[in-house]
Structure 1
Amino acid sequence: MFTIKARDLAATLDRVAPHRFRADEDAGDLDALILDCTPGHLHAVAYSDRTLAVARTSVAGDVWTALIGYDDAAALRGWLESSETVTVEHVTSGGHQQLRFTEGPAEITVPAASHVGRLPWRALLRLVLDARDHPLAVGRPVQLNADDLALWGNAGGDGEAIEFRSLGPVGTLVTAGADFLGLQAPHTWDGPTPGEGWSSSLRTRRFPFAGTFLEVGARYADCTRTVWVVPARPGRGEEPTLVCADYAAVTLPISQVLAVGKFLIRLPD
């Protein structure tokens, strides 16, 4: 449980909201975003078939992850408009994983979509950041601000891909199809190095249990082929709880799962 200013949570949701499947695609259960909490940050993760976006804001929270549908996220975003400071809780009620947001007597509860497959966004971003710093990487980084990007939006008016290629101190070459060329003047930036300070957010959230390790958000199968999700890291001295990925209302202590399922095998992401 933690408290956060409503405007900070709203801004974090807004930064990733555009990154979702298009309305004409049958995304089904994939049309969801992830709220992922670590002791230092709350992350909002959104994705489509073409993009992945992660925004974070500082919190002093526990360790949990929950997928929520975009409609529920939109309802939460609207509720935040009339709020100042909200308390966020990751709870299990009636066998369902939920996120509860309260401010005084006002409350909104958002159900978690635990049946949605896990997105390995930490692993993907680690690969991207490692590739950027690889000694064999070709080219220079291209840095544009939001206003710059808005200027180039119509360059591919007929659906062409817009390419940004750094020319070093000269600037950035912008191309779109056979009939468009542009040049973006270079910027100087005083902000932090891109990707710097993200190591704590991108490390795995494994914790020891009975001589092995479990990971928050990962999926495991037992001998009956039932798939279970680890929704949160247990507190000190507490037993881990598992949520059934096939039947979201089934939430059991791990000891009860193992009594029937015998063992747990980690499934690929």
Structure 2
Amino acid sequence: MFTIKARALAATLDRVALHRFRPDDDAHDADALVLDCTPRHLHVVGCGDRTLAVARTSVRGDVWTVPVGYDDAAALRAWLESSDCVTVEHVTRDGHQMLSLTEGVAQITVPAASHVGRLPWRALLRLVLDARKRPLAEGRPVQLSADDLALWGSAGAGGEAIEFRSLGPVGTLVTAGGDFLGLQTPHSWDGPTPGSGWASSLRTRLFLFAGNLLEVGARYGDITGTAWVVPARPGPGEEPTLVSADCAAVALPISKVLAVGKFLIRLPD
């Protein structure tokens, strides 16, 4: 549980909300935002057909991850418009996991999107950041402001892909199909190194329970063939809860799962 300014949560949602699959894409099991909490940050993750976006804001919270359907995320975003400071809590109620947001007597409950598959965004970002250090990735970065991007957007009005290529100190070459060339003069850059300060956000969240090393957000299978998700790290002295990975999304204490399923095997992402 943590408390956050409504405008901070709304801004974090807005930064990734446009990153989603097109309605005609066969990717309904990924059409959601992922809200992922660590002790230092709340992350909101959006994924599209060619993009992955992660925005975060500082909190003092627990460890949990919840996929939220876009319709529910939109309802949450609208509710935040009339809020000032809200309390966010990850709860399991009637066998289902959800997020409960309250401000005084006002409350909104956002259910987990049980149809959504696991999005290994931390692993993907670690790969991207590591690739920057490879010889093929060496070179000057292409630096564009939001105003720059707005100017170049019309270059692809006919559906052409817009390509930006660094020319070093000269600037950036812009092409869009075979009939457009442009040059963007360089910006000075004194911003942070990409990935700097993200070590805690990209760290895999593991905990040990009854001899089992479990990862928050990971999927596990038991002897019956049932797949389970670990939605959150339990508090001290608490028993972990597992959520079935099917549409029913039933939540059970791990002891009840093991009583029938006997053991848990980590499933691939």
Normalising to structure 1: TM-score of the pair? 0.97
Distance 1:106 1:39 in 2: 26
Distance 2:187 2:8 in 1: 28
Specify the alignment match of 1:52 in structure 2. Answer: 52
Contact 1:219 1:266 in 2 (8 A): yes
Contact 1:33 1:69 in 2 (8 A): yes
Post-superposition offset of 1:250: 1.8
Task: Write the letter of the residue equivalent to 2:226.
Answer: T
Distance 2:91 2:248 in 1: 13
* 1:120-158: CA deviation from partner (whole Å, max 9, x where unpaired): 000000000011122442432111111111111111122
Specify the alignment match of 2:29 in structure 1. Answer: 29
Task: Write the letter of the residue equivalent to 1:109.
Answer: T
Distance 1:251 1:61 in 2: 21
Distance 1:29 1:247 in 2: 11
Task: Write the letter of the residue equivalent to 1:187.
Answer: H
Partner SS, residue 18 of structure 2: coil
Specify the alignment match of 2:67 in structure 1. Answer: 67
Specify the alignment match of 2:106 in structure 1. Answer: 106
Match status 1:215 vs 2:226: no
Match status 1:179 vs 2:179: yes
Specify the alignment match of 2:76 in structure 1. Answer: 76
Number of positions where the alignment pairs a residue of Structure 1 with one of Structure 2? 269
Task: Write the letter of the residue equivalent to 1:227.
Answer: A
The 5 A counterparts of 1:25-174 are 25-174=25-174
Moved more, 45-54 or 20-29: 20-29
Normalising to structure 2: TM-score of the pair? 0.97
Distance 1:168 1:17 in 2: 33
Contact 2:31 2:116 in 1 (8 A): no
Post-superposition offset of 1:190: 2.8
**TM-aligned CA distance change 1:249 to 1:162, over 3 Å:** closer
Distance 1:70 1:161 in 2: 27
Contact 1:34 1:44 in 2 (8 A): yes
Post-superposition offset of 1:115: 3.5
Distance 2:106 2:65 in 1: 24
Identity %: 81
Post-superposition offset of 1:63: 0.1
Moved more, 184-193 or 163-172: 184-193
| Structure 1 runs (4+) greater than 4 angstroms displaced | none
Contact 1:65 1:216 in 2 (8 A): yes
Moved more, 176-185 or 113-122: 113-122
Match status 1:12 vs 2:12: yes
**TM-aligned CA distance change 1:236 to 1:185, over 3 Å:** same
Distance 1:30 1:200 in 2: 25
Post-superposition offset of 1:194: 1.9
Post-superposition offset of 1:249: 4.6
Specify the alignment match of 1:198 in structure 2. Answer: 198
Post-superposition offset of 1:114: 3.1
Distance 2:3 2:38 in 1: 14
Moved more, 193-202 or 238-247: 238-247
Specify the alignment match of 1:188 in structure 2. Answer: 188
Post-superposition offset of 1:34: 0.1
Contact 2:220 2:228 in 1 (8 A): yes
Distance 1:160 1:196 in 2: 34
Partner SS, residue 225 of structure 2: coil
Post-superposition offset of 1:201: 0.2
Distance 2:96 2:248 in 1: 6
Post-superposition offset of 1:240: 1.0
Distance 1:212 1:26 in 2: 35
Contact 2:132 2:138 in 1 (8 A): no
Distance 2:40 2:24 in 1: 37
